[in-house]
Amino acid sequence: CAAATDVDWCETHPEDAERINAEASGTLASAAAAAGSRPLYVSTDAVFDGSRGPYAESDGTAPCNVYGRTKRKGEDLVQRALPSSLIVRTNLYGWNVQPKQSLAEWVLDRLEAGDIVPGFEDVVFAPILADHLAGVLLNLMETAREGLYHVAGSEALSKHEFARRVAVTFGHGPE
């Protein structure tokens, strides 16, 4: 699950993003193959350009930023190093233990500071709570699945609607 996920940072540090999201993933997959193990590579829905959806595993990719391109290259390197790998494309939310904020945390912090929360209507995603994703990933590993899977929340919604729901959930009103 380790990755450089800050889209803006990846844009300003493309070589570092490439090393972290692609090259390191391929190296780890090669090491797993040598050890007789099988990795789980957590990828992203950012491998798609978002021009339509929902996307199937068989759909072609068209990442529109450095983050998406490096994660897509990571998928290729993992698959090449170990064809029996499990690759999961997802978009998750929840509380982050790292010194960075998830989208939900960012929205909540802005709300609590009294700041405006911009929410895009033209960006639609199907986020899944990290706790739920963890259960799905464990099940996929326990059942020895391999190949490419899309794992998403049950509902597609805009970033604006996601922010609105965070606001309502934490008592900040609907707007």
Instruction: Name the H helices within 82-129.
Output: 103-112
In the three-class reduction of DSSP (H, G, I as helix; E, B as strand; rest coil), residue 86 is classed as strand
- Other residues' Cβ atoms within 10 Å of the Cβ of residue 43: 23
Q: Looking at 41, 55, 67, 93, which residue is catalytic?
A: 67
Sheet holding 86-90, edge to edge: 40-44, 86-90, 147-150
Could you read off the pLDDT of 37-84 as tens digits, one per residue? 988 999 999 999 888 878 999 999 999 999 999 999 999 999 999 999
Is 67 considered catalytic here? yes
The count of C-alpha atoms lying within 13 angstroms of the C-alpha of 160, restricted to the half-sphere facing its C-beta, is 7
Of 86, 88, 73, 74, nearest in space to 38 by CA:
86
Which tens digit of pLDDT belongs to each residue from 132-169?
A: 999 999 999 999 999 999 999 999 999 999 999 999 99
pTM: 0.90
Q: Output the six-digit token pair for 96.
A: 């982050």
The amino acid occupying position 132 is: H
